Amino acid sequence: MVRATSGRPEVALTFHGAGPLEITRQVMALLAQHNAKITVFAVGTWLTDTPDGARMVRDGGHELGNHTWSHPDLESYQPAPMLTEIERCRDALSKVVGTPGTFFRQSQGQHATARELAAAGKAGYATALSYDVDSLDWTDPGAVAIRRATAAAEAGSVVSMHLGHPGTVQALPGILTDLANRGLTPVTATELLR
């Protein structure tokens, strides 16, 4: 799944869940100010190293999903270790926030391969959520470039972003304002795809 086709004026801002707690705190505060909801694809090691970040996401009314245990080049793994990567993150999500999440997003690639989809299915995930807009914030290009990249979002878009980068925090107020000015509402992936 790459984007929604309902035509509703909604977008899903999806964040790769990793990074310092303080950045997560700042992102959550900005989202609350703009009454925006997101989906965070948590990396398992982040869940165990920074469980308060994941709980903060959950408690803010946002959604969490599975982004593998250690964010490897998942496609290079054999089937059993690939499944273990997904299951370990699933189990950590359940332990930390009380749910395994609805969606899976593979690491190190925009689209899940057939092998990744099969492993995700075995781990209990019916949907692998990709994206049609990449903010490129993981390259640390600066707030202006991140905001420019996200301007490609339109009704039904799924935008890829990252929690662990200061430039994302700096860009987020402008991104949220731009979306509002264009009549687009940031919602969770579940809401977008309903």
> Does any domain span residue 5?
no
pLDDT tens for 58-82 read: 999 999 999 999 999 999 999 999 9
Tell me which residue range forms the domain holding 56. Answer: 10-192
pLDDT over 80 at 87, yes or no? yes
> Does any domain span residue 154?
yes
> Does any domain span residue 4?
no
pLDDT over 80 at 165, yes or no? yes
CATH number at residue 139: 3.20.20.370
Q: How many domains does the chain have?
A: 1
pLDDT tens for 167-182 read: 999 999 999 999 999 9
pLDDT over 90 at 38, yes or no? yes
Distance, in Å, from the CA atom of 43 to the CA atom of 174, rounded to the nearest integer, reads: 26
Distance, in Å, from the CA atom of 72 to the CA atom of 61, rounded to the nearest integer, reads: 28
Q: Compute the mean pLDDT over every residue in the chain, rounded to the nearest whole number.
A: 96
- 62 to 68, 72, 79, 111, 135: CA distances (angstroms): 19, 25, 31, 23, 20
> Does any domain span residue 155?
yes
The pTM assigned to this predicted structure is 0.95
